[in-house]
């Protein structure tokens, strides 16, 4: 494969009409406004770029926030201006195979498969909030790399755009998303009077702030991003084992999360009590429409020590899900905390889940969002992956695996621990429930770096 992609051109895709709507971001959006998210869908065929561009134009009409620009109002509130400034869609060709591109997706910057949105600079206005890169390997197929500004919305918001895009290309009905012009006021109307009482942010002291800044600056050198594929059969085994040990019903996600955390702690030789953080989409819990664009996110925070066993963690995760509104919902506490602090100081805050010094493990579960339902030209993707997102240690993402089967874990770890996972003992520990007769997808067998 050639070292550099061959650039074939870029076009700016617009909906063709600007609504002019101004969306006032909430405090949660503002706290996420220095982050972008990048992902790649991989397709077996070479997709028609003109059809993609036409479909994207229709999708931007349905979800106009992605085609807009940011600005800061006179009162300091971040705003999304739906001015239809558009989305750059770049096209590249590379020598090699689709599998080789898949192997590059976790490289810094997304392995030249995405054009990452510069979130911090985009806050000043004038820069796109969504980018697309279409890469065609010479052996066939397409990598469709997308990057979006987190202030626009979460993964579910992105999937609203992708579903609309797919529907437009396939000749289906493009459903408009729910747009809220004052996100904080809208959230207030849906929040209970009280919640768990624990805000999801903290203000580090000067020493910790300096240490966190140093951690971020050194992340690319000090850490490694790994991907682990768990086949359906092995997940079924570990699920049964965890449910039997816990003596109760668990979800496969509960069991797999507990297995991953326990295995990493085992390989790290860490026996202390550490925290596990799981972000939660609260649309359903708060009676919000599933088609709402934004960042209605809260978290589950759980302490766990290896001596308790993975079944205990899996059970605690199940209890947290069942009792989430009562025990973990914290959005009103977040609003109270950030308002008391003052908008001018929100930049000093960090989420509780970002605590690398204490090895707090954060897992974002991206399964069941329809990632493999983004059909173009009659074909669903054969692989989906995050791409070079926020490479600080102990962050991870779980999604369905190849063709929507099994699970793919993408995890950022300190280099030394990553090396242990790559070794024979690490692989054996991760896949202690795998059997020789388990059928791994051909693509999984073809990716040398996949664990």
pLDDT of residue 40: 98
Between these two residues, 324 and 437, which has the higher pLDDT value?
324
For each of the domains in the chain, give its residue range(s) and CATH number, in order of start.
6-188 (3.30.559.10), 202-446 (3.30.559.10)
Residue 341 has pLDDT above 80, yes or no: yes
pLDDT, tens digit, for every residue of 148-164? 999 999 999 999 999 99
pLDDT of residue 316: 97
Q: How confident is the model at residue 219 (pLDDT cuts 50, 70, 90)?
A: confident
Q: How confident is the model at residue 183 (pLDDT cuts 50, 70, 90)?
A: very high
What is the average per-residue pLDDT within 99-120?
A: 91
pLDDT, tens digit, for every residue of 194-208? 999 999 999 999 999
CA–CA distance, 137 with 388 (Å, rounded to integer): 20
**419-427 own/partner pairs: CB under 8 Å, 24+ apart:** 419/224, 420/267, 420/268, 421/226, 421/228, 421/264, 421/267, 421/451, 422/226, 422/451, 425/267, 426/267, 426/451, 427/451
Mean pLDDT (the chain) is 94
pLDDT of residue 346: 85
| Cβ neighbours around 157 below 10 Å, total | 21
What is the average per-residue pLDDT within 50-54?
A: 98
What is the average per-residue pLDDT within 385-410?
A: 92
What is the average per-residue pLDDT within 90-103?
A: 95
pLDDT of residue 448: 80
pLDDT of residue 4: 65
Between 37-41, 211-215, 306-310, 376-380, the lowest mean confidence (pLDDT) is in 211-215
Per residue, the 3-state secondary structure of 60-117, as one string, reads: HHHCHHHHCEEEECCCCCEEEECCCCCEEEEEEEECCCHHHHHHHCCCHHHCCCCCCC
Residue 389 has pLDDT above 90, yes or no: no
pLDDT of residue 436: 87
Q: How confident is the model at residue 1 (pLDDT cuts 50, 70, 90)?
A: very low
Q: How confident is the model at residue 110 (pLDDT cuts 50, 70, 90)?
A: confident
What is the average per-residue pLDDT within 317-322?
A: 96
């Amino acid at each position: 494969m050639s070292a550099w992609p061959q650039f074939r051109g870029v076009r700016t895709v617009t909906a063709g009409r600007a609504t002019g709507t101004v969306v006032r971001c909430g405090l949660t959006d503002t706290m996420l406004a220095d982050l972008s998210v990048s992902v790649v869908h991989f397709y077996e065929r070479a997709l028609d770029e003109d059809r993609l561009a036409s479909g994207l134009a229709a999708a931007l009409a349905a979800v106009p926030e992605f085609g807009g620009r940011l600005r800061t109002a006179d009162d300091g509130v971040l705003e999304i201006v739906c001015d239809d400034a558009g989305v750059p869609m770049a096209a590249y060709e590379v020598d090699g195979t689709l599998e080789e591109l898949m192997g590059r997706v976790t490289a810094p910057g997304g392995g030249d498969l995405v054009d990452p949105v510069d979130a911090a600079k985009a806050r000043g206005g004038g820069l796109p909030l969504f980018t697309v890169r279409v890469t065609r390997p010479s052996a066939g197929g397409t990598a469709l790399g997308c990057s979006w500004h987190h202030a626009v919305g979460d993964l579910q918001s992105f999937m609203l755009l992708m579903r609309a895009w797919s529907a437009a290309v396939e000749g289906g009905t493009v459903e408009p998303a729910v747009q809220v012009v004052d996100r904080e006021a809208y959230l207030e109307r849906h929040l209970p009077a009280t919640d768990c009482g624990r805000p999801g942010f903290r203000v580090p002291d000067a020493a910790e702030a300096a240490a966190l800044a140093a951690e971020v600056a050194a992340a690319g050198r000090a850490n490694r991003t790994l991907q682990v594929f768990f086949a359906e059969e092995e997940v079924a085994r570990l699920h049964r084992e965890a449910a039997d040990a816990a003596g109760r019903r668990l979800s496969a996600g509960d069991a797999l999360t507990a297995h991953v955390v326990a295995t990493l702690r085992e390989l790290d030789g860490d026996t202390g009590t550490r925290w596990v953080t799981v972000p939660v989409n609260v649309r359903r819990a708060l009676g919000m429409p599933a088609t709402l664009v934004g960042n209605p996110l809260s978290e589950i925070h759980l302490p766990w020590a290896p001596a308790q066993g993975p079944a205990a963690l899996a059970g605690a995760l199940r209890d947290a899900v069942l009792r989430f509104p009562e025990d973990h919902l914290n959005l009103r506490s977040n609003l109270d905390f950030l308002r008391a602090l003052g908008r001018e100081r929100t930049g000093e805050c960090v989420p509780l889940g970002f605590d690398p010094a204490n090895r707090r493990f954060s897992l974002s579960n991206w399964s069941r969002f329809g990632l493999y339902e983004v059909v173009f030209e009659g074909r669903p993707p054969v692989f989906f992956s995050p791409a070079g997102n926020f490479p600080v240690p102990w962050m991870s993402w779980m999604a369905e695996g190849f063709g929507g089967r099994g699970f793919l874990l993408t995890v950022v770890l300190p280099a030394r621990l990553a090396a242990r996972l790559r070794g024979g003992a690490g692989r054996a520990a991760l896949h202690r429930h795998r059997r020789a007769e388990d059928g791994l997808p051909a693509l999984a067998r073809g990716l040398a770096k996949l664990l």
